[in-house]
Amino acid sequence: MPRGRIRARLRWSHLYTFSCYKPSATEEGPHSIEGHGHSRVVHCNQPLMHKKKPFKYRSNYISTTKYNFITFLPKALYEQFHRVANLYFLGAAILSLTPLSPFSAVSMIAPLAFVVGLSMAKEALEDWRRFMQDMKVNSRKVKVHKGEGVFGNKSWQKLQVGDVVKVEKDQFFPADLLLLSSSYEDGICYVETMNLDGETNLKVKRALEITLPLDEDEAFRRFTGTIKCEDPNPSLYSFIGNFDYDRQLFALDPSQILLRDSKLRNTAFVYGVVIFTGHDSKVMQNATKSPSKRSRIERKMDYVIYVLFSLLLVISLISSIGFAVRTKYYMPDWWYLQPKNTDDYYDPEKPGVSGVSHLVTALILYGYLIPISLYVSIEVVKVLQATFINQDIQMYDEETGTPANARTSNLNEELGQVDTILSDKTGTLTCNQMDFLKCSIAGTAYGVRSSEVELAAAQQMANDLEDRDAERSTCSRQKGKQQEIELETIVSSKDEKDHKSPIKGFSFEDGRIMKGNWLKEPNADVIMLFFQILAVCHTAIPELNEETGIYTYEAESPDEGAFLVAAREFGFEFFKRTQSSVFVRERYSASGQAIDREFKILNMLEFTSKRKRMTVIVRDEDGQILLFCKGADSIIFDRLAKNGRIYEEDTSKHLNEYGEAGLRTLALAYRKLDESEYSAWNSEFQKAKTSIGTDREVMLEKVADMMERDLILIGATAVEDKLQKGVCVILALFL
């Protein structure tokens, strides 16, 4: 493998949205980025120029702590006296220093100092742990160009703007980088942005074509360039800048930017130049200061303190009023108190002063109605709980080797306080592990295995049947037996094997179309077209596992990976991609021999959340131009031709069944194109692609929509997003 590169021979290989040609710097033109908010200048591979103004930027050192040695005492005290109880005890401690206090001031100050000191010590410990985590991140190593084409390890915190770095597979990006090249020849790389936006699907980034030759260490010996771009800002999905390189100016966009804290996946290595460091990086721009987190119990305790203080005030007022009355009317008769020689606090002629002074004394005396020890107990319990959480073996993730980490113990009691269950598709209830489970082809449903949702519902139905009264009527017994028979067909897959498919991403079972048996089906030609769409309509890259001899796929999403694995198991193995073609090996054919077919990629319109569909236009070996499309059923059905709705009714019924079973569905369709029709459309498409203006995306969408019409429905797929452990049990309770 020369120079350690992946020799897939991919040169701008149609992997990008609306891509069908080599991008160049002149098509969009460089952005006009002069003015406020766009003043950053980065001298690539010249970090020494950034040590003096106006090019002196922040270091790559980051800190997420709440305090430092100077601010800890004032900030921590401010936090502690946000508590109502602490404010009350502080007031009581101050009053205990006056002559009105019924006992020593130490008895009030010592408990308060202990409670506040313990809480501050806990805050200091947790902030110290944050500091240690920051130091661990800041001390990570990355390869940096040191000069003369030599790369050496350097800690993250010592990185500077302009440094050229080499990031290897499964490493995090140490700063915001401009992608220069990658191990793939067309300069693409796959990035996991889970730490930024929670998405587990991989994102594709691509380098400018002009920097693709910078594919090895030696190539950076004389590399220089200048980046002019926007100032630091928190927008993760936008970037405006120009790259001045080799006496040419190139426009930059977010597809060339690698953000800090995202991870390089499925790519051996990438080269990049540092643009934003430390707290200037977009992820740190989005980070907020560690807030003062207070749990519901603590807020409820404040309410209890208000109630207790009100009760204390009422008791003290009653006591003080009684004392003032007795001082005025009864004290003159108490000769043993010598009222003529008394001070103002016990002067019968000043009962109001006596009452107020007694009120202060009563508040201190009855102050133990508010339990200061309760706060001590809660603080100790929280610290111990956080320790137990960190050591809980059941919260240890064996796959990543990550234990639980309680960064703060203030919210321990919030754990497990489930009020509302919200289901979504981002991994809250699911593992984001897709398995091809069922499909509908030419109006016929295939796939006999049941989903986890169906099994959970079936189990709940079985439990309900067992709990029925044994003395049911004969009619009820017959009905129950009929239900049990229907239930048996669902539970059978669990009772028979209850095993997970050994093939990751493929849990399909149906002998009618497995192992080449689809050739015997009535609609074999439609089934073959269905499998071809699965094997061709995607953006993935194949990788051969030399140990097993099986191809695995680097896909942007787990759904796409599951489709390719399914196509491979059905006998349509995607095994090679070039700059303009996709190659599929068909293991089963009428002749009985494997056939390698080439599909030339003419255009590819990628799947987006707005389009909800993906289309690829190919030319097969017979010269026929075909449009393959997959997408949401509502989108596909609206674009069907009159003669393309033969299987619509049956497919809709199957889609509803798959949806009720908790499966994720996509509809598949195709269209045959005439040469003249395609040429006319492609001309319009190229014109929209090379246009300059704010309405460019609108024009592209309009032109794409013109082609994605008059489709012929073939079928639909159903994949299962595996549920997290224990979710099936919860789900069964709600069914």
Query: Binding site residues for ATP, as ranges?
Result: 424-426, 560, 607, 630, 664
End-to-end CA distance of the chain: 55
Long-range pairs of 191-195 with CB within 8 A, sequence gap ≥ 24: 191/258, 191/262, 191/263, 191/264, 191/265, 192/262, 192/263, 192/264, 192/265, 193/259, 193/262, 194/263, 195/261, 195/262, 195/263, 195/283
Annotated binding site: 424-426, 560, 607, 630, 664
Q: What is the residue type of 452?
A: E
Catalytic: 163?
A: no
Label residue 371 left, alpha or beta by phi (over 0 means left) and psi (-120 to 50 means alpha). Answer: beta
- 3-class state of residue 304 by DSSP: helix
Q: What is the DSSP letter of 345?
A: G
For residue 402, the cross-strand partners are 397
Tokens coding 489 = 């067909």
Tokens coding 107 = 């008895």
Per annotation, catalytic residue among 333, 424, 467, 469: 424
Assess contact for 270 and 264: CB atoms under 8 A: yes
- Crossing angle of the two packed helices 727-734 and 452-466, in degrees rounded to 10: 50
**Among candidate residues 592, 233, 658, the one with its CA nearest the CA of residue 437:** 658
What is d(CA 358, CA 362) in angstroms, rounded to the nearest whole number? 6
What is d(CA 160, CA 158) in angstroms, rounded to the nearest whole number? 6
Buried-exposed string 682-707: b where 16+ CB fall within 10 A, e elsewhere: beebeebbeeeeeeeeebbbebbeeb
**Among candidate residues 304, 296, 299, the one with its CA nearest the CA of residue 370:** 304
Assess contact for 715 and 440: CB atoms under 8 A: yes
Buried-exposed string 65-80: b where 16+ CB fall within 10 A, e elsewhere: bbbeeeebeebbeebb
Handedness of CA 630, 633, 637, 639 (dihedral sign): negative
Buried-exposed string 185-194: b where 16+ CB fall within 10 A, e elsewhere: bbbbbbbbbb
Q: What are phi and psi of 437, to 5 degrees?
A: -115, -45
Handedness of CA 598, 600, 606, 611 (dihedral sign): negative
Q: What is the DSSP letter of 263?
A: E
Catalytic center residues: 424
